[in-house]
């Protein structure tokens, strides 16, 4: 899972910058190969949304990422492999070391589209573990089967809110404007060669 794309124009927390600088050397000392290098082949933005075409150098894998967020807000990202394979929607809330994690495995994820709770809320799964820099991280995601419905909802809506329900109390965490999403999605389908209205193949 890739949380910060090359060229995403988002600032990294200082601890993540340091980890990014030290990680290749630490991996070499440990005898482990670093993750495949990511190269941005194309970048475009419209409204509140951006799209990037990413290549995994040396393994001939390309994917398109449609994303929004940053500037203190968490990120929302849809990733689709070339030809329409292995689609996923990922919400990565902002979290800093020493602070309570914004979502936990025990929370119920909630998505509100234009003020109405989405049926997709119950399909969101929470994952905890180190990110690509070795830092603790938590995110929530939808798999390939649920992405088409999510895309239809985002194309029809104006504002998406993500939050967590704990012991019956809803806590709003992130809010994103959906202006520009449709244009970014269509651009991704053009670059990565998939039908923007179709279901996606699982890996």
What pLDDT band is residue 200 in, cutting at 50, 70 and 90? low
Least-confidence region, from 27-31, 97-101, 193-197: 27-31
Strand partners, 159: 177
What is the mean predicted confidence (pLDDT) over 20-31? 40
Answer yes or no: is 82 within a domain. yes
The length of the chain is 203
Is residue 3 within 8 A of residue 74, CB to CB? The reply is no
Q: Is the pLDDT of residue 61 over 90?
A: no
Q: Which two tokens stand for residue 163?
A: 């939050």
**What residue numbers bound the domain in which 169 lies?**
14-192
Rounded to an integer, what distance in angstroms lies between the CA atom of residue 114 and that of residue 156? 10
Structure confidence by residue, pLDDT tens digits, 130-164:
777 777 788 999 998 999 999 999 999 999 999 99
Residue 202 lies in a domain: no
Alpha carbons 71 and 18: distance in angstroms, whole number: 20
pLDDT at site 8: 37
- Is residue 20 a part of any domain in this protein? yes
Q: Rounded distance, CA 174 to CA 162, Å? A: 5
Q: How many domains does the chain have?
A: 1
State the CATH number of the domain containing residue 159.
2.60.40.1880
Residue 136 resides in a domain: yes
More confident residue, 23 or 179: 179
**Over 50: is that where the pLDDT of 17 sits?**
no
Under the banding of pLDDT at 50, 70 and 90, the label for residue 12 is: very low
- Residue 168 belongs to some domain of the structure: yes
Strand order in the sheet with 108-113: 116-117, 108-113, 159-166, 169-177
Whether residue 24 lies inside any domain: the answer is yes
Whether the CB-CB separation of 141 and 89 falls below 8 Å is answered with: yes
Are β-strands 61-70 and 49-56 bridged in parallel, bridged antiparallel, or unpaired? Answer: antiparallel
Q: Which residues pair with 55 in a beta bridge?
A: 39, 62
Residue 1 lies in a domain: no
Tens digit of each residue's pLDDT (9 = 90 or more) over 93-111: 988 777 788 898 889 999 9
pLDDT, mean over the chain? 81
Between 172 and 24, name the one with better pLDDT: 172
Would you say residue 70 lies in a domain?
yes
């Amino acid at each position: 899972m890739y949380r910060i794309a090359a060229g995403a124009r988002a600032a990294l927390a200082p601890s993540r910058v340091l980890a990014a600088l030290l990680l290749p050397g630490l991996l070499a000392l440990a005898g482990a190969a670093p993750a495949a290098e990511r190269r941005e082949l194309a970048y475009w933005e419209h409204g509140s949304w951006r799209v990037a075409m990413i290549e995994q150098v040396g393994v001939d894998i390309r994917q398109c990422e449609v994303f929004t967020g940053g500037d203190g807000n968490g990120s929302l990202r849809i990733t689709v492999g070339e030809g329409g394979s292995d689609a996923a929607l990922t919400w990565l809330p902002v979290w800093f070391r020493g602070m309570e994690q914004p979502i936990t495995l025990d929370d119920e994820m909630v998505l509100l589209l234009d003020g109405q709770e989405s049926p997709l809320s119950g399909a969101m799964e929470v994952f905890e573990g180190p990110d690509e820099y070795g830092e603790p991280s938590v995110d929530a995601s939808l798999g390939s089967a649920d992405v088409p419905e999510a895309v239809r909802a985002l194309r029809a809506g104006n504002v998406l809110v993500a939050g967590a329900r704990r012991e019956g109390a809803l806590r709003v965490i992130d809010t994103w404007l959906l202006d520009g999403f449709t244009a970014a999605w269509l651009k991704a389908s053009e670059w990565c060669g998939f039908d923007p209205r179709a279901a996606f193949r699982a890996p």
